Structure 1
């Protein structure tokens, strides 16, 4: 596999993985679920605001009811004391208050109906979201199981993006091994022919090795000639086997008896 074809395989593999993440239905379902939860939160927030406004009007109505009763008592008390003018004033104020109470009562009724509608919508939306959540988890589980089966089948068949990556890595490893083997063979050849110098050797070390080899060859030739002149029947003389320092005489020529 050439370098350009390997790049194309890697690019297709990475692109396929990115598209799989984008098109993953599990993420889309989770996003839809989160959006529905946000809507439910907004509905509940609106319901709380309506309930608060309704409660505020209810408290205002209770205060107006208390004042309405007090004005009635004051009118009766003024009439009992012969103060018809005060009784009339109290009744007039109570009549004006009744108009205000009617307006507040209408607002209270509107808010109560709105609260009931929001409560009904909130309940139905919560039920729908709960059903969607159950269906979402079922679909996600089915998709995960199918995806696992696909990956297993592709692994058995040796296909798929993961196995493609394995093949690419295997090709790269083979290329590196071949390159290293070729390099090792080339360096062996260079060392054998003298084309590759030892950078750690001392100056003129090659001359010293050549002279040493010639000296060894000359020594061996002399020893062979001496052995031939002494005759095939004569055995070379050896020092006493139990002599402790006999090894010191090695290379110094034959010892005297």
Structure 2
């Protein structure tokens, strides 16, 4: 397979996929139904044409038959008048008319046969079109229902995806909230234990001075108690 052939097949394949994506089967069914109706109309016009042609042939036949009867009377009148030559001429024309009438009868029969065939074709086509129209409307209704279901399911799927994202965001928010609560509890506990005072409190000199002051105060209290007790 040549390069150009492969490229042509690729282009056709992509074009078919694109058409299939934007193709609405309801429009195709309606178009097909319309074309079938046009076909029936063509058959009906053909029937009308055949009927018209047959009527013309029948009119010609009637005229020839009338003329033949007239020629027959003329031949008899000529014989009665002793004009065999005129009688012969009338009979010759009568014979010619008879041959033409027989030809017209054959043509009329052929037209009648063609007319019946076309009428039968029209009848069958009309029956098929009626069945097709019923089937078409059924398929269109089914497609419309299926299309609506797909749209609903797509919407539900989209909502589910959005809800999943929302759920994930909520979970993260809850996790962060729990983390903040844990941190707050830890800070409260550290405050109670005095850890924060040590972290942000006085330097070593100040702590030692407080110890000295505390010890001195205790010694004073001890001496005072001993004095009160006479010890």
Which TM class, normalised by the smaller chain length? Answer: 0.5 to 0.7
Aligned with 2:82: secondary structure?
coil
How big is the shift at 1:78?
1.8
Separation in structure 1 between the aligned mates of residue 19 and residue 53 of structure 2, nearest angstrom = 50
For structure 2, the 5+ residue unaligned runs are 1-17, 163-231
Name the residue aligned to 1:25.
Answer: 25
Separation in structure 1 between the aligned mates of residue 46 and residue 138 of structure 2, nearest angstrom = 32
Higher share of residues assigned helix: 2
Map 1:227-238 to 2 at 5 A: none
How big is the shift at 1:19?
5.4
Residue by residue over 1:40-79, the C-alpha shift from the partner in whole angstroms, topping out at 9 and shown as x without a partner, is 1211111111111111111111111110111111112222
Aligned with 2:44: secondary structure?
helix
1:86 correspondence with 2:71: no
Separation in structure 2 between the aligned mates of residue 28 and residue 123 of structure 1, nearest angstrom = 24
Name the residue aligned to 2:134.
Answer: 134
Runs of at least 4 residues off by over 2 Å: 18-23, 80-85
For structure 1, the 5+ residue unaligned runs are 1-17, 165-257
How large is the RMSD of aligned CA atoms in angstroms?
2.1
Map 1:98-247 to 2 at 5 A: 98-158=98-158
Residue-pair matches, total: 144
Separation in structure 1 between the aligned mates of residue 21 and residue 40 of structure 2, nearest angstrom = 28
TM-score (norm 1): 0.52
How big is the shift at 1:138?
0.6
